[in-house]
Amino acid sequence: MGNKSIVITGASDGIGKALAWVMAARGYNLGLTARRIELLEILKDEIQKKFPSIKVCVQVMDVTQYEQQDAVLVNLHQQLEKIDILVVNAGIAIAGKTGIMPLSDQLAVINTNLNGAITTVTSGLKIFRQQGYGHLVATSSIAAFRGLSRNAAYCASKSGLTTFMEAVRVETHKEDIAVTVLHPGYIDTEINRSLASRPFVIDVEKGASIYADLIERKVSSSTVPQFPWNMIGPLLKVLPTSLIAKM
C-alpha cells in the first residue's frame, strides 16, 4: 500500500512542525494543517527538497471553524489516498488569573484545545470507519493532571481532552482504531518560552523524536518525555494545594 500517511494539525510551528520533519525522515507521507498557510507552504517546500520521495499536502484549517473540518480532512484523505494516523495537535495557551484575565481569552483556549480537538477527532473517526482502520493521537499536557495557577482554562482543556480520548478508546474498543494520548512536559516551543520556569525542558527535536517513537508503538498514554514526568504526573494529583499555589 506504499508509504504510511500521517495528518498533523497545528503543524506550522512547535511540536507539530518538528514531528512533520521526523515522520518525513521515517518515510511517511504528510498532510499538514494550520491557520497560517504561508508557513505550511514553506515547510512543504523544505521537506520535499530534503525528502523528494515524500508526498506533502497542506491545507489551511482553523480548528475553531468547526464546520470546515470534515471537508479539510476528506480533501487530505483524497490527496493522500489514506490516513493511517491523525495527530490532533493544534492548541494555544493564554495565561492569567480567573476573574482578572479576559473571559474571552479563557474561552478561546477551551474552544481551540478542547472543542476544536473534539471536532477534529469526530471528523477523523468518520474517515477511519469508512476506510476500516486508523490511529488517533491527541496532544494533551502534563497540565491535565492538576489545575495550576494562572492556567485554569488551559488545564481544564487538556484534562477534558484526556478524558474525552479515554472515552473514545472505550467506544472504539472493538474497531481497528488505536487511540493514543500524549502528555508533554516542557518542550522548548513558542507556546512556553515566556514562562519564568520550565523544569526538565527538552528541545523540540528530541520531543518530536519521542513523540514519533510513542506513536509508532501505539501506546495508549504517555508523558513526553516519559521520565521524570511519568513520576511527577501522579504526584501532582496528591500534592497539597498550598504547595501547588507556590509553583
* Better-scored residue on pLDDT, 199 or 38: 38
Element (H, E) at 158: helix 152-171
pLDDT for res 246: 80
Report which of 127, 121, 165, 122 is spatially closest to residue 5, judged by C-alpha positions: 127
Band of pLDDT at residue 28, cut at 50, 70 and 90:
very high
Q: Quote the pLDDT of residue 196.
A: 67
In the structure grid, which three cell numbers stand for residue 27, read together? 518515510
In degrees, to the nearest 5, what angle opens at C-alpha 66 toward C-alphas 68 and 183? 115
Name the residues annotated as catalytic. 154
pLDDT value for 20: 98
CB under 8 Å to 240, separation ≥6 — which residues?
Answer: none
- Whichever domain contains 202, its CATH number is 3.40.50.720
- Give the pLDDT band (50/70/90) at residue 113: very high
Check whether 112 has a pLDDT greater than 70: yes
Q: What percent of the chain has pLDDT over 70?
A: 98
Q: What tens digit of pLDDT does each residue of 182-231 get?
A: 999 999 887 787 776 788 889 999 999 999 999 999 999 999 999 999 99
How many structural domains does the chain have?
Answer: 1
**Distances 24 to 36, 51, 52, 122, 212 between C-alpha atoms, Å:** 20, 7, 10, 26, 11
Average pLDDT of span 63-80: 97
- Integer Cα distance of 53 and 24 in angstroms: 9
Domain with 124, as residue range(s), is 5-244
Q: CA 224, CA 206: separation in Å to the nearest integer?
A: 10
Ramachandran bin of 93, using left for φ above 0, alpha for ψ from -120 to 50, beta for the remaining angles: beta
Q: What is the pLDDT of residues 224-240, one digit of tens each?
A: 999 999 999 999 999 88
